[in-house]
Amino acid sequence: MFHVARARRYTSPDEYPFTSPLPGPVIPALDFPSILHKNDINVNSDIMDRYLQDILPRICVPGDDLNYGSSATRDVECLQALSKRIHYGK
């Protein structure tokens, strides 16, 4: 998540990081249109808990398959997709 934070991903009003603090972007900020209603809803901690406690144990066999990079990449893709979809209606 750190590398995408540097590319200003989490300055977008519809993106929510799973960790903090994150480094600031290295490229100039964009002006986003005011299309979202003001709110403080962020359920990423709930998404992460459910993913780790309910989903992963059902789709993975116990043990270490040594695929750390591939697994981490796919986990981040899943978490970000779930977060974006859940928060999309805001």
Percent of the chain's residues with pLDDT above 90: 29
CA-to-CA dists, residue 88 to 42, 44, 57, 72, angstroms = 11, 13, 27, 24
pTM of the model: 0.68
Taking only the tens place, the pLDDT of each residue in 56-72 is 999 988 888 898 899 98
